[in-house]
C-alpha cells in the first residue's frame, strides 16, 4: 500500500482504531465478566452471605444498572466512530491521488480494506438503527450488529500480520510513518 501518510490520514486511522478497540473492550466485558447472569449470581451469592435475599430477576436488574455506564460509553464511542468513518470516507473520496494497486498482493490488500470498511459501515449503520431506527427493524438490526462484529478479529490478525511482514520486509519503518509521518 502507500508508504507516506498525511497528518489527517494518521489522525483518522488512529482515532478509528482506538474507538474500535474501545468498543471491542466493552463488548468483551459485556459478554464475559460483566455478563448480566454472571453478575446476578455474584450479587445473589454475596448478598446471601450477609443474610439478604433477592430474586434472580432483581439481581439481573441491579447487574444491568451496574454495567449501564459501560454501555453508555459503548454508544458514545460508537457515535464518534461513525463520525470518524464518515470523515474518512469523505476524505478518501476527495483525494486527488487515488491508490492504484499494481501487484496481486496490493490488490488483495485493497480488497481486504474495502471489505473491512463495508462491514464496518454495516456495523455502524446497524448500531444506529438499533438506537434510532423504527421498532419493526430493531431485532434484525441487532442481529446484523452482532454478526458484523465477527469480521474484526480476522481483520486485526491480517492487519497486524501485514504490518509485521512489511516491517521485516521491503517496507521497513511503515509503523513509524503511520505514527509520526514522513521523516
Q: So where are the chain's domains?
A: 7-180
> What's the pLDDT tens digit per position in 32-90?
889 999 999 999 999 999 999 999 999 999 999 999 999 999 999 999 999 999 999 99
pLDDT of 1 over the 80 cut: no
* Structure-model confidence comparison of residues 152 and 170, the more confident one: 152
CA dist 148 and 45 (Å) reads 36
pTM metric for this prediction: 0.84
Which 3 state secondary structure label does DSSP give 150?
helix
Cell output for 55: 430474586
Phi then psi dihedrals of residue 51, to 5 deg: 60, 35
CA dist 126 and 132 (Å) reads 10
The H-assigned helical ranges of the chain are 7-31, 36-48, 56-94, 104-132, 138-148, 152-168, 174-180
> What's the pLDDT tens digit per position in 4-29?
778 898 999 999 999 999 999 999 99
Amino acid at each position: 500500500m502507500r508508504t507516506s501518510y498525511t497528518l489527517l490520514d494518521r489522525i483518522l486511522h488512529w482515532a478509528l482504531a482506538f474507538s474500535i478497540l474501545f468498543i471491542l473492550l466493552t463488548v468483551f466485558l459485556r459478554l464475559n465478566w460483566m455478563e448480566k447472569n454472571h453478575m446476578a449470581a455474584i450479587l445473589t451469592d454475596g448478598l446471601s452471605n450477609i443474610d439478604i435475599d433477592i430474586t434472580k430477576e432483581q439481581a439481573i436488574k441491579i447487574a444491568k444498572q451496574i454495567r449501564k455506564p459501560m454501555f453508555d460509553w459503548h454508544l458514545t464511542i460508537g457515535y464518534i466512530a461513525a463520525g470518524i468513518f464518515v470523515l474518512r470516507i469523505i476524505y478518501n473520496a476527495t483525494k486527488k491521488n487515488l491508490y492504484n494497486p499494481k501487484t496481486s498482493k496490493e490488490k488483495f490488500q485493497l480488497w481486504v480494506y474495502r471489505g473491512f470498511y463495508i462491514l464496518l459501515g454495516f456495523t455502524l449503520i446497524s448500531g444506529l438503527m438499533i438506537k434510532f431506527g423504527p421498532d419493526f427493524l430493531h431485532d434484525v438490526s441487532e442481529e446484523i450488529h452482532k454478526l458484523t462484529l465477527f469480521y474484526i478479529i480476522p481483520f486485526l490478525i491480517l492487519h497486524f500480520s501485514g504490518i509485521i511482514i512489511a516491517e521485516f520486509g521491503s517496507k521497513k519503518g511503515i509503523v513509524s510513518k503511520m505514527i509520526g509521518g514522513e521523516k
